[in-house]
Structure 1
Amino acid sequence: MPAARTVDLDVATLTGFLGSCAPFDALEPPELARIAAHAAVEQYEAGDVVLDAFDARIAELFVVWEGRVDIWLNTDRLTELPDKTEGSGGLFGYVAALTGAALRPRAVAVGRVVVVRLPADLVAPAFASRRGARFLAQEVWSTNQRAVGIPAYTLVDDLVARAPLVVDPGTSIADAALRMAQADLGYAAVGIGPGRFGLVTDASVRDVVAAALPTTTPVAEVMDPDPPRVQLGASATEALIKVLEGAADVVLVTDRAGELCGAVAPIDFVVSSTTAGAALHEQLRRATTVTELEHRYRGVPQLVSDLMARGLASSRVITVHSALVDTLVRRAVQLVVAAHPDLDVDAFTWLSLGSNGRREAVLSSDLDAAVSFADGTSAEEIARYRPAFLEVAHVLERAGLNHDRHGVSPGNQEFTRTHRQWQAAARGWLSRPREDDAVIKTCLLVDGRPIHGDLTLPEVARVFGDLRLHPSTMEVLLAISVDRPRTRRGRWRRRQVDLKREALLPITNIARWAALSVGSPVLQTQERLRAAAGSRMLSAEDADTLDDVFEIVQRMRLRHQLEQFQAGEPPSDTVRPRDLSSIEAGVLDEAIGEITAIQRRMATKARYVPDLG
């Protein structure tokens, strides 16, 4: 291998960097500092072989500091495409280093790259942690599942093809539009401070023209002040998620220091072998008939399978899937209502509830939804929309989504109200949480997220924003959180296991209550756990454990459902223990035991710590 050039980095900087990388984020600062003190930092040029663990045993592993490396995992495929590419924070060489065998991989610099070499004996404790075990298990599984010759992911670096256009905040809209046209770019970034950028796009300019605003208006008055952004070294899939979550026109790409390097648009993802979701997203968004829409969406399960096979974390795969569900629902609403000239598609807000609202929809998820109309809309006028809402439900069913069996749908009068009526209903549920399924409806609406119409928080969400001020409701929600299903551990070979009821739902309930108790507005279960970590009822250690367990069981659930889909069976949440390996059965048994122990601790605290409800 060519000689590398040594790079000087101080221990404090390296310690902070390693602490942001999995699985080293499981280590305490003193241990990280000890590892950093023994690290070596080296720079390689394009084409240099950074590591060849096929030829020699190694006692070190590597983390990418800057740049990227192509990785080959099989010695007989070195002339083919790399199996994956690692960018900043990416780890490689750990299998060979930890086992002491000449196994893999071969790593080659893509452009100039800086790597950190770490002694294997010092970093071994990181892999003994729960995060480290999950990291290894996920890598082994994804490597075994990966198709030959298909990279694990493409970096966003590969999609940035042109230099960025940056304008000052005082630049007029007309001047910005001219410079965008001259550069043949669909956007201009607005420099608003060190490492901070606003954004104007072609769509922004069209909105100005449509509103008859003067084109002499400074761009600062019409820009998006907080556009989506990613750093160099992020996977293209991560950038794609930003596009899908916000239906963004552009995602800005910066370096580690915050300097703008360029931008990517939805069309850029179409050329990436690992972000086919962008093409499918565009096909759904532009479908001209409900028949076309239904046909396009039937390709989503295969896309989910491909993303899993490429090694993307299950939580991110589910986020992509949920974003595509949003696109399907949004377009179905538009097409169906457009077929009724007497209805106005802008007259209502469509709310996704439950797992869809939390962006945690999987193949078996029911479609829970509600609609909120502007105040002053009469009951008769609302009734005219319900047949169209039922048509939307039928379109979604034909596309492959599960219709909610309990009537949580805009076709149901109870889930179609005006803003003020929703507000009154919510206050009623909060005042009588033990009556008429009030707490169930509260949970649904607390997890609600608008995906069509007024995307600001509707009135019902504002009511629930103060939910922690209603102790009786919080008490009921806490009771649900610590309620343990009547299951017995260690008997996996004798019964079916409901992954949702026995593992995922308890974590979802705990996370919801905990986040509400600290006043956090976030919706996703893992984000809720992180927001509430260290609170009186949920220690940081317990939150971390539940976060890990949720990811592990979600991956097990999603993989099981994809296997059912491939076999032509309807996806479900139940697995037969005899279909699990002994390792999987043991992991699941341990996971449910962890959840039960945490619920028990929470129940004990609830009895002795005042004002927790």
Structure 2
Amino acid sequence: MSLDQTAIFDFLRGVHPYDSLQDEELTGISGKFRCITCDAGAPVYRLGEVLDGLYLIVSGAVEVTDANGAPVSHLGPRNSFGERGLSRDGTAVTSAHALSRTELLLLPAGEFRALVRTLPAFARYFDRARPATPGVRDLAEMRVSDLMVPDPVHCGPDTPLREVAAMMRDARVSSVGVVAGDRLCGIVTTRDLATRGMAEGLGADAPVSQVMTAEPLTLTPADLGSDVLQLMLENRIGHVPVTVGGRLRGIVTQTDLTRHQAVSSAMVIGDVADAQNVAELARTTGMIPQVLAQLVATGRAHDVITRLITDIADAVTRRLLRLAESELGPPPVPYLWLACGSQGRREQTGVSDQDNCLFLHDDMQPEDDTYFAALAKIVSDGLDACGYVHCPGDMMATNPRWRQPVRVWRQYFEGWVARPDPMAQMLASVMFDLRPIGGDESLFAGAHADTLAMASRNSIFVAHMVANSLKHQPPLGLLRGFATIRSGEHKNRIDLKHNGVVPVVDLGRLYAIQGRLEEANTRARLQAAAAAGVISASGARDLIDAYDLIATTRLEHQARQIKQGAAPDNFMSPASLSDFERGHLRDAFVVVRTMQSAIGHGRGTVS
């Protein structure tokens, strides 16, 4: 193949991120590519080679395989590959060969790196690393779509004031949009009902058109948050409808702005500390979805967001423990309430069940369990009422098995390590994420370190945990990009929990066992594993970058659902992402699968 510069220029104009460049920039870049032709079966590059540069397929097809020859991707025209090796130490972590006669463009490594350094569009597309200090956006950087309440309450212009007032009461809102046909024609607030309705002697059956503000000032979802504040201050209004083409799409109120500035995990925790009963706690935890959506909108890192959300769960648990003690009296022996699972790792999102247990002092007598059974029920039922639903697997302190003296817990750990059958693997996986929440923390002192040391010395146990870490695979499809769920209510979606973050969580836990690392948080485990030499520095960087992207995508998906008034879940349609986002997410999954393959074949472990 021999494409001239004009032909390369024309081809690149239809490929992202080149299509975002100015013509003069694209002209310069098109002259840097080399043309390559590979026959069917010919290698493009091999595992461990120093890559020549960034490859871009013009025609034909390429198969990318992992270190063990397992296929990872089938790539076609306009797909790029090879850039992840270039972004690290320059060596390939996969292999690639042509499936048919294939025409490629090659951007040499030096030119590629120079473009990443000098062109923002290139840097955004090819550099997947999380910024060292993620920016937190203020109102000037946020969009109205981040602040507005979507699908606001609305009525027709002939609706009686009585009905409008009932709408406000039932929906607990302070304004209603007035829509004629499919167009916004006015807005009415509680103040309007009082000053223009009741104060003027209008009857309850008068139409809302008589008290509404006609043709109100509006903004669009794409406007800035600062535009809302400016509009409110200049015009002394407290409600701004959001429209698209005259159609009502949302509303922003002074309360929304106040919440953006004031609603935080710290505020929620303060309310938790003041709650006098479970009902008050439940009302407070009802704000968690709003807090999560706000934290995502402000651009904070995913591990910061999940830590702040988990802090609320910790505070709720401790408050329930205090409420239980006030009802039951002082405990007969010291105890420690511990969380495992996502709460133990400080990785809770908008969807969390509860996983917990009780360590009891060895002086405990059999009759003492009556007290602790009651305490466990009060706390567990309280957590359920607050949105932390009962564990489907009954991994809770209400189960007598998970409410035992310290000596029994040590026997549990020793047994799971010595006889690692599938059930032991599952239990060990959960219990390695234990974290004290409330009570006497001395009861857990040394237990974690002792168990890690015992586990890391048992090669059979480690081998079983390796196998366990490979049970959840990233949702990679060879031809269509992602392997989506084939049937049921989540058809054509990917599970960002079990096939997204869980594979990385499992790898992080395995590295912690191998390296005797006491960190429970997944990202902290990956960083500690790199520092301890459990995995290579480049492998850790790639895996952390991949985890950051997957976990952030999951939170952004949940935040979108919350803004739309839906309950958050972990099932995302790939179609909801742009081509740019899908490409990066798939690359992240490839990294995870590559690291799973390495650990499954005995590489990257410590002896």
TM > 0.5: yes
Q: Are residues 1:286 and 2:274 paired?
A: yes
Please say if residues 380 and 390 of structure 2, whose CA atoms lie closer than 8 Å, have aligned partners that are also in contact: yes
Please say if residues 366 and 404 of structure 1, whose CA atoms lie closer than 8 Å, have aligned partners that are also in contact: yes
Residues 100-150 of structure 1 deviation map (CA, whole Å, 9 limit, x = unaligned): xxxxxxxxxxxxxxxxxxx99966599369656654998799999825699
Residues 496-517 of structure 1 deviation map (CA, whole Å, 9 limit, x = unaligned): 2011121211111111111221
Equivalent residue for 1:331? 319
Q: In structure 1, the residue corresponding to 2:528 is in which secondary structure?
A: helix
Q: In structure 1, the residue corresponding to 2:580 is in which secondary structure?
A: helix
Change (3 A) 1:130 1:346: farther
Equivalent residue for 1:581? 578
Equivalent residue for 1:321? 309
| CA shift for structure 1 position 461 | 2.2
| CA shift for structure 1 position 578 | 2.5
Change (3 A) 1:289 1:136: closer
Q: CA RMSD in A?
A: 3.5
Q: 2:295 aligns with which of 291, 297, 307?
A: 307
Change (3 A) 1:136 1:287: closer
Match of 1:470, as an amino acid? N
Equivalent residue for 1:348? 335
Q: In structure 2, the residue corresponding to 1:404 is in which secondary structure?
A: coil
Change (3 A) 1:588 1:149: closer
Match of 2:334, as an amino acid? A
Residues 388-411 of structure 1 deviation map (CA, whole Å, 9 limit, x = unaligned): 312222211221222211000000
Q: In structure 1, the residue corresponding to 2:441 is in which secondary structure?
A: coil
Q: In structure 2, the residue corresponding to 1:440 is in which secondary structure?
A: helix
Equivalent residue for 1:434? 421
| CA shift for structure 1 position 414 | 1.0
Work out the CA distance in 2 between the residues paired with 1:563 and 1:272.
Answer: 16
Change (3 A) 1:140 1:360: closer
Equivalent residue for 1:530? 527
Please say if residues 142 and 309 of structure 1, whose CA atoms lie closer than 8 Å, have aligned partners that are also in contact: no
| Rg larger for | 2
Larger RCO, structures 1/2 (Cα 8 Å, 6+ apart) = 2
Residues 404-441 of structure 1 deviation map (CA, whole Å, 9 limit, x = unaligned): 11000000011100011111111111110115x11111
Residue range with higher mean Cα deviation, 566-575 or 351-360: 566-575
Residues 266-322 of structure 1 deviation map (CA, whole Å, 9 limit, x = unaligned): xxxx99936732222111122222221121121122112112111111211111101
Q: In structure 1, the residue corresponding to 2:357 is in which secondary structure?
A: strand
Match of 1:279, as an amino acid? M
Equivalent residue for 1:417? 404
Work out the CA distance in 2 between the residues paired with 1:525 and 1:587.
Answer: 21
Equivalent residue for 2:432? 446
Q: 2:463 aligns with which of 475, 490, 493?
A: 475
Please say if residues 432 and 438 of structure 1, whose CA atoms lie closer than 8 Å, have aligned partners that are also in contact: yes
Match of 1:571, as an amino acid? P
Equivalent residue for 2:587? 590
Alignment of 1:195-210 (within 5 A): none
Change (3 A) 1:142 1:477: farther
Q: 2:515 aligns with which of 515, 518, 536?
A: 518
Residue range with higher mean Cα deviation, 281-290 or 404-413: 281-290
Work out the CA distance in 2 between the residues paired with 1:138 and 1:367.
Answer: 30
Aligned length: 372
Q: In structure 2, the residue corresponding to 1:273 is in which secondary structure?
A: helix
| CA shift for structure 1 position 383 | 3.4
Please say if residues 511 and 525 of structure 2, whose CA atoms lie closer than 8 Å, have aligned partners that are also in contact: yes
Q: Are residues 1:503 and 2:500 paired?
A: yes
Work out the CA distance in 2 between the residues paired with 1:280 and 1:504.
Answer: 27
Please say if residues 476 and 590 of structure 2, whose CA atoms lie closer than 8 Å, have aligned partners that are also in contact: no
| CA shift for structure 1 position 585 | 2.2
Change (3 A) 1:147 1:476: same
Match of 1:296, as an amino acid? T
Please say if residues 484 and 599 of structure 1, whose CA atoms lie closer than 8 Å, have aligned partners that are also in contact: no
Q: Which runs of 5+ in 1 are unaligned?
A: 1-118, 152-269
Residues 447-477 of structure 1 deviation map (CA, whole Å, 9 limit, x = unaligned): 1000101234346424313121222211111
Work out the CA distance in 1 between the residues paired with 2:125 and 2:503.
Answer: 24
Change (3 A) 1:581 1:421: same
Change (3 A) 1:595 1:271: closer
Change (3 A) 1:507 1:145: farther
Equivalent residue for 2:374? 387
Residues 469-502 of structure 1 deviation map (CA, whole Å, 9 limit, x = unaligned): 2222111112222445385423449622011121
Work out the CA distance in 1 between the residues paired with 2:377 and 2:347.
Answer: 24
Change (3 A) 1:460 1:597: same
Please say if residues 338 and 345 of structure 1, whose CA atoms lie closer than 8 Å, have aligned partners that are also in contact: no
Please say if residues 274 and 307 of structure 1, whose CA atoms lie closer than 8 Å, have aligned partners that are also in contact: no
Please say if residues 475 and 482 of structure 2, whose CA atoms lie closer than 8 Å, have aligned partners that are also in contact: no
Change (3 A) 1:399 1:128: closer
Q: Please, what TM-score do these two structures have when normalized by structure 2?
A: 0.55
Equivalent residue for 1:200? none
Change (3 A) 1:288 1:272: same
Please say if residues 349 and 453 of structure 1, whose CA atoms lie closer than 8 Å, have aligned partners that are also in contact: yes
Q: Which runs of 5+ in 2 are unaligned?
A: 1-113, 148-257, 485-491
Deviating above 4 A after TM superposition, structure 1's stretches of 4 or more consecutive aligned residues are 119-126, 128-145, 147-151, 534-537
Equivalent residue for 2:542? 545
Q: In structure 1, the residue corresponding to 2:359 is in which secondary structure?
A: strand
Change (3 A) 1:491 1:348: same
Change (3 A) 1:287 1:533: same
Q: In structure 2, the residue corresponding to 1:339 is in which secondary structure?
A: helix
| CA shift for structure 1 position 531 | 0.8
What fraction of aligned residue pairs are identical, expressed as a percent? 23
Work out the CA distance in 1 between the residues paired with 2:561 and 2:434.
Answer: 29
Q: Please, what TM-score do these two structures have when normalized by structure 1?
A: 0.55
